[in-house]
Homo-oligomer: A and B are copies of this chain.
Amino acid sequence: MINENFLKLQAGYLFPEISRRIRSFQAQNPDAKIISLGIGDVTQPLAPAVLEAMKKAVDDMGSETGFHGYGPERGYDFLIEAIIENDFKPRSVDLDKSEIFISDGAKCDTANIQEVFGVDNVIAVTDPVYPVYVDTNVMAGRTGQANENGQYDKIVYMPCTAENDFTPELPSSPVDIIYLCFPNNPTGAVVTKEILSKWVDFAHGNKAIILFDAAYEAFITDRQIPHSIYEVEGAKEVAIEFRSFSKTAGFTGLRCAFTVVPKQVRAYAKDGGAVEVNSLWSRRHSTKFNGASYISQAGAAAVYSPDGKKQTRRIIDIYMANAALIRESLTKLGYGVFGGVNAPYIWMKTPKGLSSWDFFDILLQKANVVGTPGVGFGRAGEGYFRLTAFGKPADVKEAMERFAAI
């Protein structure tokens, strides 16, 4: 017997559907040189310090003494320690090694974390939202059927539009789990400490847990914007944070990320007893996962070396220059443009009230440029369109010229 919840899922996960349309267009137009500013994938070669560390790791694997078999499921101390020292200590966030779980991706972690919570939990997500948060809860049976807008019964959707500056309102009905992502994918919005504080207070007041996706924190340029939710007082009791090397250091093809689960985070059993979420996640992690690749972890640790820091910073600067170019070009052309200042995503209004998918098709056909339809991220994303700053600079420049010629 199948898991019937899978039958509730709406047609095709967003990116496979985009791939299908691109393949179909390319088959009919074999000479078209398509530029993708769609899926959020990096394009710059890895930092030399990372390459060097990985080559050394490969050498290790070929020697009697350096060979590494199964690593610790939670990851190697050399990486965990570098993370604590570099990502958190400078922001006055103290973490213990047992609070960090290295993994093979933030997609996997944000997909899997729901397993430690009951199926009766009510989840709240922003709208638009990264589809993985929603789909994994559908699969787990935490939702009812979808309505004609693709919204599932039992999920609390928090609309984020230009009208509220892409900042969600606190839910008015009780919720157990809140997914927040800042800098946001797909809107590129960020929040201040003050706003995050409201969420932390809400979680405290409602015995709710915040799942904070900080995969894009490295792109923050404004010094006032927090990189970690733990910069907010009281967050350690109510928040789990997800980080990744994918965008920070170009690791999308290498697979290395991590999740922070402070020991203080508690969830409750039906009998009212408090349970450490850290120990639940630890059990899940050690039962269903077998550690990230040693080579990827060695590469990730090198991101924190003095050279690694400089080199990865330089790569991020390239992407943020792309973001600035996209913002300026589209603004000049009269489009409504958001994001792209503290995030690698630019969120634009479609022109002339076009639907997101209609604009996708027009852009693909007329400019041979691929973006992501806003409605693919949720109902409130209808009429918006996402562009990413991860292209090669020459491609981004050309894409902007083609936009101008539409």
Residues of A within 8 A of B (CB): 1-4, 6-7, 9, 13, 16, 39, 41-46, 48, 51, 54-55, 58-59, 61-64, 67-71, 104-105, 107-108, 111-112, 115-121, 131-132, 135-136, 139, 141, 176, 250, 252-255, 267-270, 275, 277, 280, 283-284, 286-296, 392
**A2 contacts across to B, CB distance below 8 A:** 116-118, 267-269, 275, 277, 280
> Least Cβ distance of A291 to chain B in Å?
7
> Least Cβ distance of A52 to chain B in Å?
9
A283's partner among B13, B54, B132, B275 (CB-CB below 8 A) is: B13
**A295 contacts across to B, CB distance below 8 A:** 54, 58, 254, 293, 295-296
CA distance A67 to B292 in the complex (A): 20
> Least Cβ distance of A342 to chain B in Å?
22
CA distance A175 to B67 in the complex (A): 43
CA distance A288 to B120 in the complex (A): 21
**A115 contacts across to B, CB distance below 8 A:** 3, 139
CA distance A187 to B69 in the complex (A): 22
A48's partner among B62, B277, B283, B286 (CB-CB below 8 A) is: B62
Given A41-B70, A58-B55, are A287 and B254 also a contact pair (CB < 8 Å)? no
CA distance A277 to B68 in the complex (A): 35
On whether the beta carbons of A176 and B1 are closer than 8 Å, the reply is yes
Give 10 pairs: A residue, B residue, CB < 8 Å, sorted on A: A2-B117, A9-B283, A13-B286, A61-B254, A68-B253, A69-B252, A108-B288, A108-B289, A111-B287, A255-B291
**A108 contacts across to B, CB distance below 8 A:** 288-290
CA distance A238 to B324 in the complex (A): 54
On whether the beta carbons of A280 and B43 are closer than 8 Å, the reply is no
CA distance A1 to B123 in the complex (A): 11
On whether the beta carbons of B135 and A287 are closer than 8 Å, the reply is yes
A67's partner among B3, B46, B132, B269 (CB-CB below 8 A) is: B46
| Residue with the highest number of chain B CB atoms closer than 10 Å, among A105, A120, A270, A287 | A287
Residue of B nearest to A72 (CB): B19
A58's partner among B58, B71, B107, B283 (CB-CB below 8 A) is: B58
**A13 contacts across to B, CB distance below 8 A:** 283, 286-287
**A283 contacts across to B, CB distance below 8 A:** 6, 9, 13
What are the 6 closest A-B residue pairs judged by CB atoms, nearest first? A111-B288, A41-B69, A68-B253, A253-B294, A1-B118, A69-B252
Given A64-B45, A117-B2, A295-B54, are A288 and B104 also a contact pair (CB < 8 Å)? no
CA distance A13 to B136 in the complex (A): 25
